[in-house]
Amino acid sequence: MPPTAVESPAPEEEESDQETSETPEAQPSPTEVAGVFMDGEKNYETTGTIRSVEAEDGTYLRFEEFETTNGPDLFVYLTKPGQETTEGVSLGALRGNIGNQNYLIPEDVNLEEYNTVVIWCRAFSATFGTGELTESSE
């Protein structure tokens, strides 16, 4: 988890109505998303879950119980529907092919638009796995 991860929203203070100069409700909270990884093309296998995690320094995508076929030059991308992987937003190199991991999402990326996570092998121009993000009910 990011060192400053927030697992659940802080309880609202009902008694502090006097402080009207600060309105935390004025800023919309980012939408929480979640998804499940699916296998990529050919015989590339990928499993695990994806969820967004809010932290003080931004929003992260967290891969849990993650495992993918090992390969060279693997990267994590966010793409819009119908968009080629390389036209999407790169979140950087895959940190490992097994285990939980976190990827910081750039502030200007809207997860309602960029709703597909792709594990992409640059060397083979191949999709090792994908995950569709949907709004989480948590």
Residues 64-78 pLDDT 10s: 999 999 999 999 999
Question: Average per-residue pLDDT in the chain?
Answer: 84
Check: CB of residue 66 under 8 Å from CB of residue 95.
no
Q: What percent of the chain has pLDDT over 90?
A: 75
- CA distance linking residue 64 with residue 42, whole number of Å: 23
Please choose, from the candidates 110, 93, 32, 101, the residue with its C-alpha nearest in 3D space to the C-alpha of residue 66.
Answer: 101
Confidence of residue 1 (pLDDT cuts 50, 70, 90): low
Q: What is the pTM of this model?
A: 0.78
State how far Cα 21 lies from the chain centre. 33
Q: Which helix (H) or strand (E) holds 13?
A: none
* pLDDT score for 136: 78
